[in-house]
Structure 1
């Protein structure tokens, strides 16, 4: 090896400058003191989901404090549930605070990456989104931080959009140049996004809103439990286990009562689901049910046949005349931008062989050394913010790449056996979850008969624990023999010190500063291990 190669600092590429990409870059700087990284963002600005979604009423449906990075807690959120402009401003401030613009190439998307086993790095193709020009880059470590919501989803069974003479758009691509005053607006979908913007656009009584719904949703009222956010969230996670029948029955009764008390009486039956709460994402009601009392808001539950020139045709044969059609139909979760060729196959080929997106702790896959996915398969918990889960993943990634950054190893790759063992455990727990009982975006293709790939079956605290430290026996390293030998030696020293101290403590039976022996042992273990 030449002196130049010895001095070569590994290069990290982060794909995406949304919340996950910004968080990853900050931790590279703070935890590892590492600066040789590049963020590629195909858009012209940072912020990801919170950059793209600007529809009226857009905001977080989990408490704002869950949107603070643990390194930069924000005690100044203006409300408990924070709106989009404030969330975006917070993350843009962090982006500037840590001087991330100097590491970022905006308007450049990563087209593909291929692992070179001989050179122990990824050869990456990058495209200028404006000119289409492609260039090559190299990365010793590749971190995909492309988020969970990939692109707006349009129902495949609703055809004829091109025939409509009025205006159409998706809530993720809001037309702020269009004044809805005096218009008949058809809203397709009644999920989280529609529940936020329907109350906003219907404030003007001249705007007639017809909401076309397919499946009723469960709603919970907004509440304020500012000081016990995480504890409350992990308690709520119990409702996702269908073995907790008494709790689920109580939850269903409580949520049914909320709908009955809040919605128009003639709509209560249609608005109350027959499936278990939590099977689909529960909506934190932003005033949607109250807005249904307005004379300019109506619901239509008849199935849509298609879109025609002057509106929406129902399967009953009725045509509902409209001026504007807005799709509030959610997002595609398929990671189409994840185009990586590993040692023997592509990531999508690996996913297909497993029946859907699969990863080890949602973070890495066998056959793809030094490649990591933030908010990968089965990371979201369904009851808490993904920001916390992403931070847990980033902490794990930081520990895995530290020997590589320090030049003590070339690569680490999770084994097939460890990944299969983890996912066998994961899928077994998922069979006991309420997510198996109805169709939702949590599953491959939105079909309950398929693999659940979006959610983690347990409290967010459990996910944090699994990601807390690497199980190095689950990984295969290259050129890291000296580092591994030193790691084992250090561990033996720590265990030796622990045994010695415990033996002394047990033999003497002392009490330090009036603390019990148990407390002394607990403190010693936390320091030594």
Structure 2
């Protein structure tokens, strides 16, 4: 059985083939840029979900929204002038990506409700054999592709606390915030929300709007709750974004700049500024939160060491009579509620696990030349990749949101666009059949990751325990401004890659280098101010013969 999209589209075996795993932000952005930049259509987008959107398809809890401004939390190729407010809501974001699927005719490439079981590299055939399975029936089939893009993302698998026992024993309704049950009516219920990170901070205020719902928020670690920008765009502003040239682009640049300067919060040379900002946040917590919660809500670690939480009204809602916090530790789940470590029993009707995601998700099960990606990560003491995108031993395998591509201050979509534009340059010779594969050299990857770890020293990310780290190794954060990441990834350093079956590509590169040098020499001759026509004609004639000879030789 060959994998086909809902429209019956199949990969053409006579051309280079690409399988994109994940129909979320990264996967769809890859498909769009393949079409826009390379005019390439021979790809499939595979996703286990029944709809596109990834994070924004799965997370539908009340109050779900981006915590980065919508005008930057979108593709640079497709600005959206119609965001309702500064922070885009989940329905808006899902509608935005559905609109792009329509605009770029991606429906024909989609293979939904399909699992990617595993992918195996065949070095002789220079391709991956990808095993797929139908989510409903479990039936399996194989597809072959020269290139695979892992767009599953780092925040796709819900995580549950390992230290809480007997979670399956609950007789009521329980679900993760990333698997919100819209069919469950919370009215009149006793709801326990476990966790107080980004998701909880968004959903608790919205659920608390119904005074009949009694919410008990089980908090685990305090967070730095930053002020949310309450900006609603006027009809005129949206008209200007849509119709006045460069207004939307200039505004996006301004939003980018306001976020990018935030990197200074995490760097040691700006410690005084960070301490000043921390004092402002502490004062805000003391002002907005009930007095009995202030001490527990105030972090003792530096701001940025864990992910910052944009406060959409969480602190204010804690004063409502139907919202309570507890910092006592849950020992176990029992049929009627939870049992605390202090022996207290708390009855509950519903448990919502707002406990984040498994950040050590390695994406799909893929085997390269010698080992699986999981084994490679284990051998390195945690995930690492060259520019967060490619790994030694895995030719033509590209990872979106790989190790050290996340930031604590900026847009993940921008990061992914940087990655995509980078690996499209590696894909292009394969698509044009001038090369068969590119694999990053182990020495280049090791040197890059050593540099990443050196840059982490002294930053706030080293000063507490967080999901950014495995042991003491930073596996998640890019320790610098996104401009720097873009600069490093603007074009491949080809000497860092092993090119296979690339004789034609190598010859073309060599010819282009020689021609570029000759053209530079020609420019210098004329810029020197040669006025004698006879000499100029001799120089031109000689260069023309050389260029012709170079072209014929290569």
TM-score after normalising by structure 1: 0.91
Per-residue Cα deviation, 1:360-388 (whole angstroms, up to 9, x for no partner): 00110011111111111111111111100
Distance in 2 (CA, whole Å) between partners of 1:68 and 1:315 is 45
Query: How many angstroms does 1:126 deviate by?
Result: 1.0
Query: How many angstroms does 1:150 deviate by?
Result: 2.5
Conserved in 1, the CA contact under 8 Å of 2:201 and 2:311? Answer: yes
Which residue matches 1:478? 500
Which residue matches 1:369? 395
The 10-residue stretch of structure 1 (310-319 or 89-98) with the greater mean CA deviation from structure 2: 310-319
Which residue matches 1:519? none
Q: 1:141 to 1:211 in 2, by over 3 A?
A: same
Distance in 1 (CA, whole Å) between partners of 2:524 and 2:264 is 38
Distance in 1 (CA, whole Å) between partners of 2:303 and 2:25 is 29
Query: How many angstroms does 1:190 deviate by?
Result: 0.2
Which residue matches 2:489? 467
Regions of 4+ moved over 4 Å: 224-227, 502-508
Q: Which of 278, 289, 292 is the equivalent residue of 1:252?
A: 278
Which residue matches 1:319? 345
Query: How many angstroms does 1:481 deviate by?
Result: 2.0
Which residue matches 2:434? 408
Q: How does 1:40-439 map to 2 (within 5 A)?
A: 40-223=46-229, 228-439=254-465
Distance in 2 (CA, whole Å) between partners of 1:498 and 1:73 is 38
Conserved in 1, the CA contact under 8 Å of 2:150 and 2:363? Answer: no
Root-mean-square deviation (CA, aligned residues, Å) is 1.8
Conserved in 2, the CA contact under 8 Å of 1:243 and 1:432? Answer: no
Which structure 1 segments of 5+ residues have no match? Answer: 1-5, 509-529
Conserved in 2, the CA contact under 8 Å of 1:306 and 1:312? Answer: yes
Distance in 2 (CA, whole Å) between partners of 1:460 and 1:136 is 38
- Secondary structure at the aligned position of 2:95 is classed as helix
Query: How many angstroms does 1:80 deviate by?
Result: 0.6
Conserved in 1, the CA contact under 8 Å of 2:21 and 2:45? Answer: yes
Per-residue Cα deviation, 1:269-293 (whole angstroms, up to 9, x for no partner): 1111000000111111000000011
Q: 1:495 to 1:346 in 2, by over 3 A?
A: same
Conserved in 1, the CA contact under 8 Å of 2:23 and 2:151? Answer: yes
Query: How many angstroms does 1:224 deviate by?
Result: 6.4
Distance in 1 (CA, whole Å) between partners of 2:324 and 2:113 is 42
Conserved in 2, the CA contact under 8 Å of 1:216 and 1:270? Answer: yes
Q: 1:506 to 1:157 in 2, by over 3 A?
A: farther
Conserved in 2, the CA contact under 8 Å of 1:111 and 1:337? Answer: no
Query: How many angstroms does 1:130 deviate by?
Result: 1.1
Query: How many angstroms does 1:312 deviate by?
Result: 1.8
Per-residue Cα deviation, 1:32-58 (whole angstroms, up to 9, x for no partner): 001111111111111101000000001
Distance in 1 (CA, whole Å) between partners of 2:385 and 2:418 is 15
Conserved in 2, the CA contact under 8 Å of 1:201 and 1:207? Answer: yes
Query: How many angstroms does 1:324 deviate by?
Result: 1.3
Q: 1:506 to 1:217 in 2, by over 3 A?
A: farther
Per-residue Cα deviation, 1:424-469 (whole angstroms, up to 9, x for no partner): 000111122211111222123xxxx332211110011111111110
Distance in 1 (CA, whole Å) between partners of 2:265 and 2:24 is 30
Q: 1:7 to 1:95 in 2, by over 3 A?
A: closer
Q: 1:171 to 1:457 in 2, by over 3 A?
A: same
Which structure 2 segments of 5+ residues have no match? Answer: 1-11, 232-250, 531-554
Q: 1:485 to 1:135 in 2, by over 3 A?
A: same
Distance in 2 (CA, whole Å) between partners of 1:376 and 1:7 is 29
Distance in 2 (CA, whole Å) between partners of 1:439 and 1:156 is 16
Q: Which of 473, 479, 495 is the equivalent residue of 1:451?
A: 473
Q: How does 1:13-52 map to 2 (within 5 A)?
A: 13-52=19-58
Query: How many angstroms does 1:337 deviate by?
Result: 4.0
Per-residue Cα deviation, 1:15-38 (whole angstroms, up to 9, x for no partner): 111111100001111100011111
Distance in 1 (CA, whole Å) between partners of 2:373 and 2:257 is 36
Conserved in 2, the CA contact under 8 Å of 1:185 and 1:207? Answer: yes
TM-score after normalising by structure 2: 0.87
The 10-residue stretch of structure 1 (129-138 or 333-342) with the greater mean CA deviation from structure 2: 333-342
Q: 1:180 to 1:422 in 2, by over 3 A?
A: same
Aligned residues: 499
Query: How many angstroms does 1:413 deviate by?
Result: 0.6
Q: 1:46 to 1:7 in 2, by over 3 A?
A: closer
- Secondary structure at the aligned position of 2:40 is classed as coil
